[in-house]
Amino acid sequence: MNNFYNQQTIAGKVSLSGTGVHSGKKTSLTIRPAKENHGIKFRRLDLPGTPDIPALFKQVVDTSLATVIGDKGAIVSTIEHLMASFAGLGIDNALVEVDDYEIPIMDGSAREFTRAITNVGLVAQDRPKHLFIVNEPIEIRQADKWVRVEPESCFRISCTIDFNHPLIGLQKIVYDKAENNFEQKICGARTFGFVKDLELLKKFSLGKGGSLDNAIVIDNDKILNKGGLRYPDEFVRHKLLDCLGDFSLLGMPIQGHIITHKSGHHLNHLFIKKFLDEKQAWETGPAKC
């Protein structure tokens, strides 16, 4: 059972390996328990000095195709699905050791990360978990896209997407932390892309590791993956998964209701900057939900 009042780490080490969706390189990672107030950090084992990079907003160096963090020339890319697993499971402290710069895409969702972590178990620690408690709304807009947070008694996130495509269209989902159903409702939703976009990415030497094994691929009028979708609204569920990973870079959970409309990594990143700047709109305090 998750303990959302005290800080948590994992009960033992977890090791996985897979391919980076953009680099096409095989990467291995090991997640290790960490002490109280350590936070989530990534360690590059393949670089001299094995530098650590904290998973925090101020370390974000790119959001164009994935969330990339860096420090003093060392980077770790495509962290959002693993970060979503930590957020969804209520894990505050962990060390992630990697032997290359891109986190493996696995099956395109957070399911394999989440299963590996839950298999080893979680440990409640002796220090209380602290939250950003939202007292006033904060909002950022770019044309028809926006992110907003409002006061709420616990953590809730509402996500809306709207694609001009017959297989997607307008979709909305609400995730409430109090229901404790991240594993059942969110973690298995896969990333998705269109055939035309994947071809363009490969022209620029990106998406080298993308395949039907790790993404939903959409053509003009059909889904190319054998077996189709895992959920009827898998597209918006995955966008919410990405949001969980992005907003976890605040470094502490939010007590509030985040509402996103057609947002992506870049706008989520801009929202976090605005959120941290508007200190009159929130306070920090121990978790009560």
Total H helices, total E strands in the chain: 6, 19
| Cα–Cα distance for residue pair 20/270, rounded to 1 Å | 25
Does 238 show up as a binding residue in the annotation? yes
Backbone torsions φ then ψ of 118, nearest 5 degrees = -70, -30
Rg (CA), the chain: 18
Judging by DSSP bridges, how do beta strands 40-44 and 94-98 pair with one another? parallel
Does 130 show up as a binding residue in the annotation? no
| Cα–Cα distance for residue pair 197/140, rounded to 1 Å | 27
| Cα–Cα distance for residue pair 211/208, rounded to 1 Å | 9
Write down the catalytic residue from 130, 165, 261, 265: 265
Instruction: Give yes or no: 257 in active site.
Output: no
| Those residues with Cβ within 8 angstroms of residue 238's Cβ, 6 or more apart along the chain or in another chain | 109, 189, 190, 191, 192
Output the six-digit token pair for 148: 């907003």
Does 107 show up as a binding residue in the annotation? no
| Cα–Cα distance for residue pair 137/130, rounded to 1 Å | 20
Active-site positions read 265
Residue ranges of the annotated binding site for Zn(2+) are 81, 238, 242
Residue ranges of the annotated binding site are 81, 238, 242
